[in-house]
Amino acid sequence: MTMKTARELVDAALEEIETISVAEARELLGRDDVVFVDVRETVEYEQGTIPHSVHVPRGMLEWFADPTLPIHKAELRSGKRLVLFCAAGGRSALAAKTLEEMGISNICHIGGGYAAWKEAGLPVKS
C-alpha cells in the first residue's frame, strides 16, 4: 500500500465534495434548512465560531453521525443542508467526504474555513 500524505487525502476529498465560498456560505447563514457544522477541536471552537453552528469535533465525527449511538447529533441526519467548516478547509473537506461515505447527503464545506470567514469580516460568536 502506498502512503498518502495529508495533503493528498485532502486533495482527493476536494475532488469528490462541494466547496462553497465564504460569500455563498454567508447567504446560507440563518436559513431554517441549513446547519453550519464546526469540525474544529473544542479549544478552537471556544475561541469563536460562526453563529448558530453545531460543534462536531472532527475526531468524533463518525460517532456523532451514527444514529445507533447515544451520542448521535441529530442535526447531522436532519436532511438539512450541512455547511462544514474548520480553520482553513482541510479537516472540513475530509469530514464532508466521511459523512457522504456514511450516507449523508446535501453537504458542502467552506473553502478557506473559519479563517476566511473572519477575514471577510463576517459575524462570529464568542
> Cβ contacts of residue 118 below 8 Å, gap of 6+?
48, 124
Q: Name the band, by pLDDT with cuts 50, 70 and 90, for residue 1.
A: confident
- The alpha carbon torsion through 36, 116, 99, 62 (nearest 10 deg) reads -90
What is the per-residue pLDDT for 47? 95
pLDDT surpassing 90 at residue 8: yes
For 16, the grid coordinates are: 469528490
* 3-state SS assignment for residue 86: coil
| Torsion-angle region of 29 (φ positive above 0: left; ψ -120 to 50: alpha; else: beta) | beta
What is the per-residue pLDDT for 18? 98
| pLDDT tens, position by position, 39-55 | 999 999 999 999 999 99
What number of other Cβ atoms are within 10 A of residue 40's Cβ?
Answer: 23
| CA nearest to 39, candidates 121, 104, 94, 80 | 94
| CA nearest to 39, candidates 114, 104, 115 | 114
All structural domains of the chain: 6-119 (3.40.250.10)
Share of the chain above pLDDT 90, in %: 98
